[in-house]
Structure 1
């Protein structure tokens, strides 16, 4: 979940360059940050608790350096616990993403041998282990071998980069946690996300779990993580452009990415016929299919389960990614696991996919990041094509997943043309929901309910996952306690929470659920609830009507837009940062 960036090349203001790159990666963790550069045989470090903001660094020019943004796991949020972490001599510095599960035993041994620790983190054991393993050698290959040896001592899903001032190299290894290397004619770079490399390089190498990589003035070297034998380095083009990572005139990335959804859905309607047919064929050939995802991706997966039932008359199982390992006993060689992830690096999803592969099951992925761990593990991937999501909240990747699953269900039903027609109607419907007048309506609602402590959201059938996703969007960015429920569950306990003035959002498309969901809305209103109806048609029970287009099976795509906007405007109204909610990070690479 932490952000990592490293550079080796011509001498320059490396500290400033690294800090600028960390700003792009701060969505991966913003509890603290740090920058280190190698000067005169030692690492000079600036590190601080808190967000980067408009911070600057006053470090000497250097030809090698790296930096880190932290999402705290071991040790509190403090300057001392920020990365990088040094060994006793100051020769080695380490940055790290992940959790070293056996760090206590390693630390106890190192302290017994006389090593002095300056932090509470698990990360610091790596710098001391490297120091102890390399000792006084200044052979670059000895350092590479030491990193390989030390990384083998660490339990858990981790990525480490070691900066060695003596040999002037960065040496890295990973297990699931992502790393990507980039190069140009003058310099080499390494990062936890290709977004940080945009504008620096045109080609990248995604580091594999069984590789150790070394960056030096002579270029990039790759070694087999088990044997230490050299491997060829395979670079592929970096397709991201600087415009993909800019705000483009918007105040925040969240609102920019919400407004990019018509473009994303339009591209799926125009270009995804062949991959959707391939996914449908894999489902057709399987005996037992599973949709898995975490957070927002889980609600897209649950929408898929409803869509396959409703459209294709096909049962596709749904499981939350972090819970899937407790159901993996059902997997056989005929099973298909369809894994949904924006980043392709979510630890719980990767763990579930690896369990599926051990059982011999096939894996399909709906993933937004080409070259990510999930993309490389899957037997078949559909790239969402949504472009970078730099807000922590996922928006356009969610609608892309739901659109692809809806089209797949229609292919299975033999009604592909109907699915595409619904998707085109949804493109128009999303544009209408994002029109200035529609957006102002949602902003007015945000102004009205911004001081509330609780909000409840209901939907039935295909709208139930939308209600869950709407509640997630509101609570994760505005910190208002929001809960989504199946509308029929109100009388089974939920309605006890509704009191005078409680905001209650009701998703009411023109489908078979309408009469029942409106009945639930009336029950909440009778208890004093303030009813916000998201529906193609107004109803007397609605205190406020948020109109959305009638788009048939694509209703989740238009229904979620007002919820995304509401979350954004609630955060702005409450003086919060919509792009960086507290305690959250974009890519959940730890369990």
Structure 2
């Protein structure tokens, strides 16, 4: 959740580079921010609760110089957002400064042990035990690197850690269960939780594995395992442009990323479908790849889980047994798996802790695993047997938008590969489906150009609650629409399978609870019947349907229109309308759209 940045060079402008990195990482946490810079003596530490702008105000009065620095933007797990709980943390003295992402599960026992030996703690965080342990080992006369390694051996849990020490010109870092990547430039090195942190400076990266220890100095870096044995990690070049991670003139990242969906979808589809022949060409999944699979399980969280439901329903409709699971539940109560089970982890970042735990559990039980992710080099991509990249480009807004669309399309393509390998035949309507996929980017653009979502948001802005309903693939779109709405408006919103309204939720329907009904071209009459149930109770209905759907126009107060398309991809178009609805509702309410309270982009703790 939290964001780490570090830079190592021989200039004195570390503060400027750290601040750029922190601002690029603010989507990972914005409860507090801080940095430490070293230039010959003790690390100089500056930190403040609140957004990075508060830290910048402090640094405007006193800017330390130095070429080595570490920085941190926090999403609170242990202790509330305060100056004291902000990172970096130091020990009893000022010679060690540490930033950390993750959770130290044994911090309570370590804290009591250290207190018994006279250590005094200034924060409520689990992180603070780390610099105190390092101090103790330094007092024994060992080198900073040895002290760091001995400290890491004492830690249980998930962590990415970066450290400065008074007597060293290096940054020491390691990871276990939390992401950490190295950026390599000419005479300069960066470490960060995510690649966008240092894209302004370099696009050459090294993806670290769990247990890797990095020692980076201005004249070079060394990567070893925890025992000190050298390990080889390849330098890769990412194809993200720094401008891709900026707002590009939009008021919010979320709005920019909603409008990037036509481009993202073209990237997802490029070279993977032939609408004329009905052939699917997934680069790493040639025909026969999955011929030994008998069932498919999707594991994911949040928005990715909703995409996983779509994937499971598409497969089930084509005679491939499939089911979507919440990763957090799967990791602790997994269903039966065997060597013929394919477990697909859907994760935008490739670093979601619950999803990684589920994938590891499945693989240990003998299942084959595939990661469907946006990030090349992510933990999921490296740990799974195979990976399918959605190619959506960097997504900064906490509320996922373009990645959902790209995930759904990627799972549709993967699903067709699975159908052919498992059943031995193509989907009956594959030509129509692929033609619809080819048309999808342009149709999304039509929705963006002609939407009246802001008008609808304004009309219902003072409602008591907001319900979203749908059937078939419209059901996960209803869930996703409600999730987006509650994430960024802070208003009560719920998504339901349309047929379940009469089994309880209908008791909550009043004239002050608008119901958004997703029509995807299947089970039209049944969904319309549910709309009539709502209508009879006096609740306003907003339909998401095609502009020639006469019944929807007859029974809804208003209609958010989408172009006619194949039912399997109609949900993507409906979802764009609901994204815009949520965005405009939040904007009208004055919410912090890109930084919704209590949430962060990449959830790297369980």
**TM-score, normalised with respect to structure 1:** 0.95
Whether 1:586 aligns to 2:601 is yes
RMSD of Structure 2 on Structure 1 (CA): 1.6
**Matched residue of 2:511: which SS?**
coil
**Residue-by-residue CA offset, 1:417-450 (whole Å, 9 max, x unaligned):** 3332121232232111111x31xx1001111122
1:148: Cα distance to partner? Answer: 2.0
Q: Is the 2:375–2:389 contact (alpha carbons within 8 Å) kept by the matching residues of 1?
A: yes
Partner of 1:464: 475
Partner of 2:485: 474
Partner of 2:590: 575
Q: Is the 1:276–1:407 contact (alpha carbons within 8 Å) kept by the matching residues of 2?
A: no
From 347, 357, 362, give the equivalent of 2:353: 347
Whether 1:419 aligns to 2:449 is no
Whether 1:529 aligns to 2:530 is no
1:40: Cα distance to partner? Answer: 4.1
1:181: Cα distance to partner? Answer: 0.6
From 258, 281, 286, give the equivalent of 1:274: 281
Partner of 2:384: 378
Q: Is the 2:216–2:222 contact (alpha carbons within 8 Å) kept by the matching residues of 1?
A: yes
1:414: Cα distance to partner? Answer: 1.1
1:329: Cα distance to partner? Answer: 4.9
Partner of 2:296: 289
1:20: Cα distance to partner? Answer: 1.9
**Matched residue of 1:128: which SS?**
helix
In the alignment, the residues of structure 1 paired with residue 264 and residue 194 of structure 2 have an alpha-carbon distance, to the nearest angstrom, of: 21
Partner of 2:8: 8
Corresponding pairs, count: 582
**Residue-by-residue CA offset, 1:452-495 (whole Å, 9 max, x unaligned):** 23100000112111100110011101111100001111111100
Whether 1:79 aligns to 2:83 is yes
In the alignment, the residues of structure 1 paired with residue 112 and residue 284 of structure 2 have an alpha-carbon distance, to the nearest angstrom, of: 55
**Residue-by-residue CA offset, 1:131-165 (whole Å, 9 max, x unaligned):** 1112264x7xx322222221121111111111112
Partner of 2:530: 520
In the alignment, the residues of structure 1 paired with residue 98 and residue 488 of structure 2 have an alpha-carbon distance, to the nearest angstrom, of: 32
Q: Compared with structure 1, are the counterparts of its residues 365 and 233 closer, same or farther at alpha carbon in structure 2 (3 Å cutoff)?
A: closer
In the alignment, the residues of structure 2 paired with residue 186 and residue 136 of structure 1 have an alpha-carbon distance, to the nearest angstrom, of: 33
Q: Is the 1:433–1:558 contact (alpha carbons within 8 Å) kept by the matching residues of 2?
A: yes
Q: Is the 2:196–2:242 contact (alpha carbons within 8 Å) kept by the matching residues of 1?
A: no
In the alignment, the residues of structure 2 paired with residue 173 and residue 222 of structure 1 have an alpha-carbon distance, to the nearest angstrom, of: 9
In the alignment, the residues of structure 1 paired with residue 215 and residue 585 of structure 2 have an alpha-carbon distance, to the nearest angstrom, of: 46
Whether 1:201 aligns to 2:202 is yes
Partner of 1:298: 305
1:239: Cα distance to partner? Answer: 2.2
1:282: Cα distance to partner? Answer: 4.3
Q: Which moved more, 1:581-590 or 1:180-189?
A: 180-189
**Residue-by-residue CA offset, 1:272-315 (whole Å, 9 max, x unaligned):** 242278287444421332111100000000011111122x2211
In the alignment, the residues of structure 1 paired with residue 223 and residue 438 of structure 2 have an alpha-carbon distance, to the nearest angstrom, of: 46
Partner of 1:314: 320
**Matched residue of 2:330: which SS?**
helix
Partner of 1:263: 263
In the alignment, the residues of structure 2 paired with residue 410 and residue 329 of structure 1 have an alpha-carbon distance, to the nearest angstrom, of: 24
**Matched residue of 1:254: which SS?**
helix
- Please give the residue correspondences for 1:428-439 in structure 2 after superposition, counting only pairs within 5 Å: 428-435=442-449, 437-438=450-451
**Matched residue of 1:116: which SS?**
coil
In the alignment, the residues of structure 1 paired with residue 223 and residue 138 of structure 2 have an alpha-carbon distance, to the nearest angstrom, of: 19
**Matched residue of 2:387: which SS?**
strand
In the alignment, the residues of structure 2 paired with residue 402 and residue 297 of structure 1 have an alpha-carbon distance, to the nearest angstrom, of: 9
Q: Is the 1:406–1:419 contact (alpha carbons within 8 Å) kept by the matching residues of 2?
A: no
In the alignment, the residues of structure 1 paired with residue 470 and residue 63 of structure 2 have an alpha-carbon distance, to the nearest angstrom, of: 55
- Please give the residue correspondences for 1:386-405 in structure 2 after superposition, counting only pairs within 5 Å: 386-405=392-411
Q: Is the 1:253–1:391 contact (alpha carbons within 8 Å) kept by the matching residues of 2?
A: yes
Q: Compared with structure 1, are the counterparts of its residues 491 and 288 closer, same or farther at alpha carbon in structure 2 (3 Å cutoff)?
A: same
In the alignment, the residues of structure 1 paired with residue 145 and residue 576 of structure 2 have an alpha-carbon distance, to the nearest angstrom, of: 50
Partner of 1:444: 455
**Matched residue of 2:157: which SS?**
coil
1:11: Cα distance to partner? Answer: 2.6
Whether 1:491 aligns to 2:502 is yes
1:357: Cα distance to partner? Answer: 1.9
**Matched residue of 1:588: which SS?**
coil
In the alignment, the residues of structure 1 paired with residue 286 and residue 44 of structure 2 have an alpha-carbon distance, to the nearest angstrom, of: 51
Where do 5+ consecutive residues of structure 2 fail to align? Answer: 273-279, 420-424
From 101, 104, 107, give the equivalent of 1:97: 101
Q: Is the 2:515–2:534 contact (alpha carbons within 8 Å) kept by the matching residues of 1?
A: yes
In the alignment, the residues of structure 2 paired with residue 207 and residue 406 of structure 1 have an alpha-carbon distance, to the nearest angstrom, of: 31
From 354, 365, 369, give the equivalent of 1:359: 365
In the alignment, the residues of structure 2 paired with residue 353 and residue 280 of structure 1 have an alpha-carbon distance, to the nearest angstrom, of: 24
Partner of 2:336: 330
1:17: Cα distance to partner? Answer: 2.0
Q: Which moved more, 1:62-71 or 1:313-322?
A: 313-322
In the alignment, the residues of structure 2 paired with residue 39 and residue 459 of structure 1 have an alpha-carbon distance, to the nearest angstrom, of: 60
1:13: Cα distance to partner? Answer: 2.8
Q: Compared with structure 1, are the counterparts of its residues 401 and 31 closer, same or farther at alpha carbon in structure 2 (3 Å cutoff)?
A: same
Q: Is the 1:269–1:420 contact (alpha carbons within 8 Å) kept by the matching residues of 2?
A: no
Q: Is the 1:148–1:173 contact (alpha carbons within 8 Å) kept by the matching residues of 2?
A: no
In the alignment, the residues of structure 1 paired with residue 249 and residue 332 of structure 2 have an alpha-carbon distance, to the nearest angstrom, of: 46
